[in-house]
């Protein structure tokens, strides 16, 4: 017996959490259901019926579209995060300033003259302005990289915004940090970290995302160049960090947890290239985010780096709980442009996935027409461009039936009395919905739903009500023919 769940108004199909696998049920020739244990004698030729078994459907990730490159304040395209808060878009980056001729970016080993956390805003996501640069006091640190931030829903108001970054610690701190790092079990250690090559994860905190204070002590010894994600996981009641690992000469993704933001556990192996991927493939970035307004749908847009030609593409990963992740079938969701275009060789995404108006969602992406490790003359560095990669709302992933298919949902307590579908069918296709057990609400009694719409209504012979008693859990039966179903909306 399945326990019904109370569902949100919007149901997305980014994984299998809403789709029952079902199983066969066995019946006698006269139609009586036969139990598995101690069936009645004498033995008969049992007949199978499909009990809630799905057929003919599969999940397919949807390819993003790209806007033209944006005109951004210098450096915004390398943001640690883009957030949509209170009707505005906000972006942050870390800026280290060096003596003339000594700026090598993350490769700089000089101690910079100043380090600032820069903030930019936009009303529409397309026209941006830098609003503030806040200096932070980080004496002796160098080699800054991997900047990211998040909003802590549980923290002290003075530390509501938290940022993390990777840097080489002051020279006088390195022996003690190395001695402590050596005490870790080998499986938690990064072979790149050596006595003469120590890097740490550091933090800064802010009450408003504008005025920042550096945290003097490092969070951990770890090298996390390029991409880090930190969030507070409400379900686990812990802080979670996704970070860089470098194993077998490939980039992997690691994961660490903390009950207290200032004290972290070890970095565990989390996501890596499978044996089906080419041996020259890295998982370079994690691109961790949630679907806007629906934090229960955990997503990642990891960038897959291909050493054979130093190009890249972006995949979609999904999770029900933030712990167990799967690559969504359907191939890359973001690929380089055509030859000669601004992103023809290399691209990746910048967190987060945010609403773009009322009918789109998007994530910033940065690309270039040069391979990733192409010699970085100034003209090569200046070629990077930033744009939005976007999807129609709720259409990151579809339940697709190429021909005919069907599936049943898990029991759920309805969040409304009517249903609308975000769906696309071919001209010869259709979708029908049944409410299992409700009178006159079988799938075959549903008026065929045809076309392409974000909120197509479901009717049964003209009646919009689901026909089940208020508060009673229901199982939906969906039949698809040449169709893609993206989401279900309760009203």
> Which has the closest alpha carbon to 180: 200, 150, 205?
200
Instruction: State residue 81's pLDDT score.
Output: 86
The alpha carbons of the chain give a radius of gyration, in whole angstroms, of 26
Mean pLDDT over all residues of the chain?
94
Does a structural domain hold residue 375?
no
Number of domain units in the chain: 2
Question: What pLDDT band is residue 4 in, cutting at 50, 70 and 90?
Answer: low
d(CA 322, CA 240): 10
Instruction: State residue 74's pLDDT score.
Output: 72
Rounded mean pLDDT of 333-356? 96
Instruction: State residue 357's pLDDT score.
Output: 93
Instruction: State residue 79's pLDDT score.
Output: 65
Distances in Å between the alpha carbon of 142 and those of 321, 413, 486? 36, 54, 46
User: Of 297, 327, 357, at which residue does a domain stop?
Assistant: 327
Task: Say yes or no: 314 and 434 in one domain.
Answer: no
SS3 of 173, please?
helix
Give the domain range for residue 480: 5-19+54-61+398-490
Q: Quick one: residue 153, left, alpha or beta (phi over 0 = left, psi -120 to 50 = alpha)?
A: alpha
What pairing do the DSSP bridges indicate for beta strands 294-300 and 268-271? unpaired
Question: What pLDDT band is residue 104 in, cutting at 50, 70 and 90?
Answer: confident
The string of pLDDT tens digits covering residues 394-411 is 999 999 999 999 999 999
Q: What CATH number did the domain enclosing 236 receive?
A: 2.115.10.20
Task: Say yes or no: 260 and 164 in one domain.
Answer: yes
Instruction: State residue 103's pLDDT score.
Output: 80
Q: Is the pLDDT of residue 75 over 90?
A: no
d(CA 381, CA 370): 9
Question: What pLDDT band is residue 345 in, cutting at 50, 70 and 90?
Answer: very high
Q: Is the pLDDT of residue 1 over 60?
A: no
Side-chain-facing half-sphere of 378: CA atoms under 13 Å: 2
Residues with Cβ within 8 Å of residue 276, at least 6 apart in sequence: none
Does a structural domain hold residue 130?
yes
Instruction: State residue 77's pLDDT score.
Output: 62
Instruction: State residue 457's pLDDT score.
Output: 98
Higher pLDDT, 227 or 211: 211
d(CA 297, CA 275): 27
Instruction: State residue 78's pLDDT score.
Output: 64
Instruction: State residue 328's pLDDT score.
Output: 98
Instruction: State residue 2's pLDDT score.
Output: 60
Q: What CATH number did the domain enclosing 14 receive?
A: 2.60.120
d(CA 12, CA 212): 37
Does a structural domain hold residue 69?
no
Question: What pLDDT band is residue 71 in, cutting at 50, 70 and 90?
Answer: confident
The torsion angles phi and psi of 379, rounded to 5 degrees, stand at -65, -30
pTM confidence score: 0.94
Question: What pLDDT band is residue 5 in, cutting at 50, 70 and 90?
Answer: low
The string of pLDDT tens digits covering residues 220-238 is 999 998 889 999 999 899 9
User: Of 327, 355, 390, at which residue does a domain stop?
Assistant: 327
Task: Say yes or no: 242 and 322 in one domain.
Answer: yes
Q: Is the pLDDT of residue 7 over 80?
A: no
Which residues are 121's β-sheet partners?
90, 129
């Amino acid at each position: 017996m399945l326990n019904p769940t109370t569902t949100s108004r919007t149901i997305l199909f980014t994984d299998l959490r809403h789709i029952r696998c079902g199983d066969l049920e066995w019946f006698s020739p006269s139609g009586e259901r036969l139990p598995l244990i101690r069936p009645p004698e004498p033995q008969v030729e049992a007949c199978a019926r499909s009990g809630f078994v799905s057929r003919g459907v599969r999940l397919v990730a949807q390819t993003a579209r790209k806007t033209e490159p944006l005109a951004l304040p210098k450096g915004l395209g390398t943001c640690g995060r883009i957030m949509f808060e209170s009707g505005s878009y906000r972006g942050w980056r870390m800026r280290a300033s060096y003596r003339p001729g000594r700026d090598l970016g993350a490769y700089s080993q000089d101690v910079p003259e100043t380090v600032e956390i820069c903030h930019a805003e936009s009303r529409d996501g397309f026209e941006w302005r830098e609003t503030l640069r806040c200096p932070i006091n980080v004496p002796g640190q160098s080699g800054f990289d991997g900047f990211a931030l998040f909003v802590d829903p549980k923290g002290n108001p003075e530390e509501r915004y938290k940022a993390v970054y990777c840097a080489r610690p002051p020279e006088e701190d390195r022996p003690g940090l190395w001695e402590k790092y050596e005490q870790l079990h080998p499986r938690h250690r990064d072979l790149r970290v050596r006595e003469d090559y120590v890097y740490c994860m550091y933090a800064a905190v802010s009450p408003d995302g504008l005025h920042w204070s550096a945290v003097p002590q490092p969070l951990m010894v770890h090298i996390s160049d390029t991409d880090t994600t930190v969030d507070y996981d409400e379900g686990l009641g812990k802080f979670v960090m996704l970070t860089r690992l470098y194993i077998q000469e490939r980039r992997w993704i690691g994961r660490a947890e903390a009950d207290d933001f200032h004290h972290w556990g070890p970095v565990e192996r989390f996501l890596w290239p499978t044996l089906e991927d080419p041996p020259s493939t890295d998982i370079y970035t994690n691109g961790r985010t949630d679907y806007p307004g629906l934090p229960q749908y955990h997503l990642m847009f990891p960038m897959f780096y291909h050493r054979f030609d130093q190009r890249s593409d972006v995949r979609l990963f999904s999770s029900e709980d933030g712990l167990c992740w799967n690559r969504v079938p359907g191939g890359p969701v973001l690929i380089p442009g055509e030859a000669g275009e601004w992103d023809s060789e290399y691209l990746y995404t910048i967190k987060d996935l945010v609403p773009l108006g009322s009918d789109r969602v998007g994530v910033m992406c940065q690309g270039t027409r040069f391979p990733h490790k192409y010699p970085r003359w100034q003209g090569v560095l200046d070629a990077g461009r930033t744009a939005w990669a976007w999807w129609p709302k709720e259409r990151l992933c579809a339940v697709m039936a190429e021909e005919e298919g069907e599936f049943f949902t898990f029991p759920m307590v309805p969040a409304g009395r009517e249903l609308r579908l975000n769906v696309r069918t071919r001209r010869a296709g259709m979708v029908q919905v049944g409410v299992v057990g409700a009178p006159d609400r079988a799938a075959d009694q549903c008026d065929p739903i045809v076309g392409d719409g974000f909120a197509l209504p479901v009717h049964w012979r003209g009646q919009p009500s689901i026909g089940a008693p208020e508060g009673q859990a229901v199982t939906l039966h969906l039949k698809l023919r040449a169709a893609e179903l993206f989401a279900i909306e309760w009203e």
